[in-house]
């Protein structure tokens, strides 16, 4: 299990094994050394009498303040590591220790005094934790590939999770693609004792329907900037150099600007591509130049990115169809040549309603106000638009927008960002699979989270759902796997607890103001970044999927979606899959999302089920 996670911690390793009568426990750790590089920082780490042990993945940013408080209460520290703070804080507060921790973390803590295992995960899910409870034992790890090394962990596929994947393009927590394995949800802990488990939530996203507006716009802007400055400073603390991811956009740009104010001689990292249509390196150069930060840029060819496609199952343990993991992996690999830690701008879109889907949500209200004959005419018009395979081309945007017509606002956000819905999925799945899923609602997580939130306003609900689903189960997973596969830690200042709680309690107009996204964040960036960076249209890591499927990825697609493979597998309806392929190749309908979602699943299935073995999964270099 440890060898399967060697990429996450290439610097050191440790184990603790205890056999106490009927109870046995083992903790294993692969270390990425960042705070206290000495042997004193080795994990797993214990208290003074070795009755409490912990293995931590992540960073505790307020560990210095907590350490002083604990030392004043008589606790003795052996190291200068942030990890040791958890041990002594747990001794003081038990599960209540989580309320005091500000950081990104997943940890396992063994309390030998009462033979209990305490698993916990950070508030928004920056660090992963998976577990399997079977035959009177609990098995846990940062990644699924480690769990699969254990002989008692079953590889049986969860068809409900597959159905969710086909709709969302990822699998929402607590489910995984394997029936036997669960994800610990963000903001939760799990206590396992006497062969029984209990989980509970210790924090939730504090969005409100009508938060009081008790400050001026200028005061809100100043407070946000102050919170971001503190958040960035916390994340610059390390015993190794800290770098920056700079894409040329607002989110990474404001983080870089505040970091450059706080620390000299920072270095930032960007990648470019030799295909101009999805190369944004010019904007990254502008940001770096405006801040006076040393800029490292590496230009990749499309072929270098494409070579990663067959290796996706080695990076991801379960299907996840966000193609941005390809450039993220290349960027992480490039930065890891010089750094162990970087700051990124993740979280800005979910906090401040930055996606075009938030704008589309407002536009849908105007669309519904049109007379029925006008809406019908628009639908007919869109069906006759010529298909373009360009990045977010006009025809693609219009057709995606119209998919949301007739869908409730909360589900619409995920219809726009997902692959198969309704009748499409019925046509895709074989009859026997449909029967298995007959009473299953793949959007049950949306209903659960809406009820949990207590929110009544549509925009607030969508913001809550985008953090609870898209951020935690898609974006943060791609960042974690792409970076940690290269032994690189990514820190996200925009997702600091204080920042998140402040933004959640802002009136909605400071996030989406009319059709202006990230309203207050753009105000806070004023004077820190060039206006052309602050106000340029969001693009993100653009991948020419449609073009690839008709050219460079065509043979790969035809092989993995061949009739022989599909029929042998027994999940999908081959005539429907063939129709998707034929229409894509003929350029009559753009099925990029659907075909890529299927390809990712097929690659995963081939690696983990068809070709499954107990051998440790090797990593691509």
**Helix ranges restricted to H, 55-191:** 63-72, 83-93, 144-147, 159-168
Q: How would DSSP label each residue in 209-264?
A: SS----S-HHHHHHHHHHHHHHHHHHHT--SS-EEEE--SSHHHHHHHHHHHHH-S
Strands 12-20, 23-31: pairing kind: antiparallel
3 state SS of 554: helix
Q: What is the pLDDT of residues 55-97, one digit of tens each?
A: 999 999 999 999 999 999 999 999 999 999 999 999 999 999 9
Q: What is the CA radius of gyration of the chain?
A: 24
CATH pick for 3-201 out of 3.60.20.10, 3.40.309.10, 3.90.1150.10, 3.30.10.20: 3.60.20.10
Tally of CB atoms within 10 A around 341:
24
CATH topology of domain 208-541: Rossmann fold (3.40.50)
Percent of the chain scored above 90 by pLDDT?
80
Q: What is the pLDDT of residues 15-34, one digit of tens each?
A: 999 987 778 999 999 999 99
CA distances from 318 to 88, 98, 447, 573 (A): 36, 29, 24, 22
Q: What is the pLDDT of residues 285-315, one digit of tens each?
A: 999 999 999 999 999 888 888 999 999 999 9
163-177, 297-311, 389-403, 433-447, range with the lowest pLDDT = 389-403
- Distance between CA atoms of 195 and 192, rounded to whole angstroms? 7
CA distances from 597 to 241, 310, 417, 506, 544 (A): 38, 14, 12, 36, 15
Task: Phi first, then psi: give them for residue 471, nearest 5 degrees.
Answer: -70, -55
Residue 216 above 90 pLDDT? yes
| 409 pLDDT tier (thresholds 50, 70, 90) | confident
Q: What is the mean pLDDT of residues 167-189?
A: 97
Q: What pLDDT is recorded for position 615?
A: 37
324-328, 370-374, 411-415, 436-440, range with the lowest pLDDT = 370-374
Q: Say what the pTM is.
A: 0.94
Q: Which residues of the chain form CATH 3.60.20.10?
A: 3-201
Return the bridge partners of 513, or none. 516
Q: Which residues of the chain form CATH 3.40.50.620?
A: 208-541
């Amino acid at each position: 299990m440890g060898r399967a996670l060697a990429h996450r911690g290439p610097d050191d390793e440790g184990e603790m094994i205890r056999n106490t009568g009927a109870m046995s426990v083992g903790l294993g750790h692969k270390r990425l050394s960042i705070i206290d590089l000495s042997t004193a920082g080795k994990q797993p780490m214990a208290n003074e009498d070795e009755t409490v042990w912990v293995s931590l993945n992540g960073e505790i940013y307020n560990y210095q303040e907590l350490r002083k408080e604990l030392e004043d209460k008589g606790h003795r520290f052996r190291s200068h590591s942030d990890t040791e703070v958890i041990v002594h804080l747990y001794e003081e507060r038990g599960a209540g220790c989580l309320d005091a921790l500000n950081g990104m973390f997943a940890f396992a803590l063994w309390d030998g005094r009462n033979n209990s295992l305490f698993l916990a995960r950070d508030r928004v899910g920056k660090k992963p934790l998976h577990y399997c409870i079977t035959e009177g034992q609990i098995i846990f790890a940062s990644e699924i590939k480690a769990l699969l090394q254990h002989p008692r962990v079953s590889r049986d596929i969860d068809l409900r999770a597959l159905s969710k994947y086909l709709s969302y393009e990822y699998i929402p927590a607590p489910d995984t693609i394997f029936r036997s394995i669960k994800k610990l949800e963000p903001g939760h802990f799990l206590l396992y004792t006497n062969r029984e488990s209990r989980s509970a939530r210790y924090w939730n996203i504090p969005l409100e329907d009508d938060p009081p507006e008790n400050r001026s716009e200028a005061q809100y802007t100043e407070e946000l900037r102050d919170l971001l400055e503190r958040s960035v400073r916390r994340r610059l603390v390390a015993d190794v150099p800290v770098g920056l991811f700079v894409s040329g956009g607002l989110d990474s740009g404001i983080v870089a600007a505040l970091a450059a104010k706080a620390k000299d001689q920072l270095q930032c990292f960007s990648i470019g591509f030799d295909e101009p249509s999805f190369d944004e390196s010019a904007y990254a150069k502008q940001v770096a130049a405006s801040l006076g930060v040393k800029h490292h840029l590496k230009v990749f060819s499309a072929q270098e990115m494409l070579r990663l496609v067959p290796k996706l199952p080695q990076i991801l343990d379960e299907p996840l169809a966000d193609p941005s993991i390809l450039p993220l992996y290349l960027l992480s690999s490039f930065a890891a040549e010089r750094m162990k830690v970087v700051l990124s701008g993740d979280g800005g879109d979910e906090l401040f309603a930055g996606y075009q889907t938030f704008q589309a949500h407002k536009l849908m209200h105007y669309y519904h106000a049109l007379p029925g004959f006008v809406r019908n005419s628009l639908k007919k018009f869109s069906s006759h638009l010529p298909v373009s395979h360009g990045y977010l081309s006009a025809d693609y945007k219009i057709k995606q927008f119209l998919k949301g017509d007739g869908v409730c606002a909360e589900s619409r956000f995920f219809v726009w960002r997902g692959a198969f819905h309704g009748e499409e999925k019925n046509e895709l799945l074989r009859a026997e699979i449909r029967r298995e899923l007959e009473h299953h609602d793949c959007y049950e997580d949306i209903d659960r989270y809406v009820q949990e939130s207590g929110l009544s306003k549509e925009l607030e609900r969508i913001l809550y759902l985008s953090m609870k689903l898209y951020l935690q189960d898609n974006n943060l997973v791609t960042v974690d796997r792409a970076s940690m596969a290269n032994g690189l830690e990514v820190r996200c200042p925009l997702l600091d607890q204080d920042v998140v709680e402040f933004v959640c309690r802002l009136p909605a107009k400071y996030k989406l103001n009319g059709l202006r996204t990230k309203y207050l964040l753009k105000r806070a960036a004023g004077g820190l970044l060039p206006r052309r960076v602050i106000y340029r249209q969001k693009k993100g890591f653009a991948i020419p999927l449609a073009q690839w499927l008709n050219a460079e990825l065509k043979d790969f697609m035809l092989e993995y979606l061949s009739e022989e493979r599909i029929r042998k597998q027994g999940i999908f309806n081959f005539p429907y899959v063939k129709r998707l392929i034929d229409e894509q190749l003929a350029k009559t309908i753009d099925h990029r999302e659907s075909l890529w979602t299927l390809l990712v699943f097929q690659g995963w299935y081939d690696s983990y089920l068809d070709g499954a073995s107990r051998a440790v999964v090797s990593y691509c270099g």
